Structure 1
């Protein structure tokens, strides 16, 4: 597999994109993922020492798409100091006093670190588009009723998001966006699993079933957002998500392939004075009583 196999480079229709791929046995996939995760962790260490790039990984998908477990498994070999995960929920009162991108901007990773957005700024053109009354909570000028939220409003948001991502990319943040493409049948299976397994019951919410009724609306909004915002500086990748081990491996391998395109991400060289005295420093340490 190659990253380009999953990258969105033109207009797509989600119904034509597969939600399932078979890469082999689960144990083999998990072993390969462990190897890829270690390679990514090595790059993360170099990125931290290099200190000139940040990496932003955006993960979107429907409920039960496997976002949490994917993050846990793909990044399990990372040094905790070099990766920060943000899971964006319903905006707080304080967040609603700012523009919708504010809470995402202040959560961006600093140079040298990986930042993972579990749900992202795209909630503001997906969930709010399915439920436009949520926009009213932002208390925006000229938006007094749902009728004021026209198609031009969403076009402007796409433009703002593109500008936001272009700005951070031009200032050293490498942006990779992943849509976990789950089938409706597989979501049904996973929701039933939550209900059938007592230790998974806590994950279930009756609201999940209400949102499931809006499946087609959500798919249309995901599709529109992807088509309007997949750019060379911030590409979207559509990951078949019906099989969790396969989805994890695909995402990890895409990241590894893309990050290997930056050979300048290396540990900095020692200054000449320190390098010339390494043996002396060793002797000092060995000579300690």
Structure 2
């Protein structure tokens, strides 16, 4: 090949694709390399349009399209969508919900925050409380944290061992397979921030009295175990990214980029669902309202 052509190919920047950030699918019959979370740069902004203002304009445009698609989903009452948001403290789960769904009619949307299980919930299997919150027909459910907490905190605190983690990974894959088989489109996003970005966001909460309600001293204890949580996330994500419930790693040091990327992902997902309004009712043809 001529040198000029070679140079030309090298100069051509590859346009980022959403699937570049999708975690390889788990294959129980194949030994895969452990998933390397550190291979993704949390400060990257591959889907940014170059400025915060441009990103916000793009987000608003996507929001209008998501609103239309969600209305069709709700009217159709046949399919379902589940968005799972996971990430370290301050990664922006609440902010993502506010920004991405700002222009979406709340009718048919449901946000489910998962906290530490209650005494009653803990007396059941770990998926009992989660299954009860799965989306109904026509509903878009958002899990702010999720069943994945049950292979993160207990593992880091050494409340469960490796064998139990593997069992739970298997149960999670089976649970999500059941949801998919029942008409639920599952999308899972890990909001990937750097340790330095988390430090700045935690400090901002401490410095601003209006944000003290969002701060918990336990956040500092969890921060001391940053590496252990990163390893726990990497193992859980690698063991549960499937064709029917894929994981996407979202570089999230930039809040506007995080929002745009997740919005783009949801737009593509819902467009692929081929949503339409239900057919007109024959009984209403020719009806006049007096």
Look up the match of 2:42. Answer: 19
Aligned partner of 2:86 among 52, 60, 66: 60
Look up the match of 1:9. Answer: 24
Aligned partner of 2:219 among 173, 192, 208: 208
Look up the match of 1:180. Answer: 191
Cα deviation per residue 1:132-182 (whole Å; 9 max; x = unaligned)? 33xxxxxxxxxxxxxxx4322111110000000001100011100000001
Q: Distance in 1 between matches of 2:86 and 2:198?
A: 15
Cα deviation per residue 1:163-202 (whole Å; 9 max; x = unaligned)? 0000110001110000000100100111111112222222
Question: Per-residue deviation at 1:230?
Answer: 0.2
Aligned residue pairs: how many?
264
Question: Per-residue deviation at 1:2?
Answer: 2.9
Look up the match of 1:139. Answer: none
Look up the match of 2:131. Answer: 105
Greater CA deviation, 212-221 or 78-87?
Answer: 78-87
Q: Is the 8 A contact 1:3 1:257 kept in 2?
A: no
Q: Match of 1:21, SS?
A: coil
Q: Is the 8 A contact 1:39 1:256 kept in 2?
A: yes
Aligned partner of 1:231 among 216, 234, 242: 242
TM-score of the superposed pair, with normalisation by structure 2: 0.88
Look up the match of 1:33. Answer: 59
Question: Per-residue deviation at 1:21?
Answer: 2.4
1:272 aligns with 2:282: yes
TM-score of the superposed pair, with normalisation by structure 1: 0.88
Look up the match of 1:116. Answer: 142
- The answer for unaligned runs of 5 or more in structure 1 is 134-148
Q: Distance in 2 between matches of 1:21 and 1:172?
A: 34
Q: Is the 8 A contact 1:58 1:177 kept in 2?
A: yes
Cα deviation per residue 1:36-63 (whole Å; 9 max; x = unaligned)? 1111111100001111111000000000
Aligned partner of 1:85 among 108, 111, 119: 111
Q: Is the 8 A contact 2:186 2:244 kept in 1?
A: yes
Question: Per-residue deviation at 1:20?
Answer: 1.5
- The answer for unaligned runs of 5 or more in structure 2 is 1-15, 26-32
RMSD: 1.3
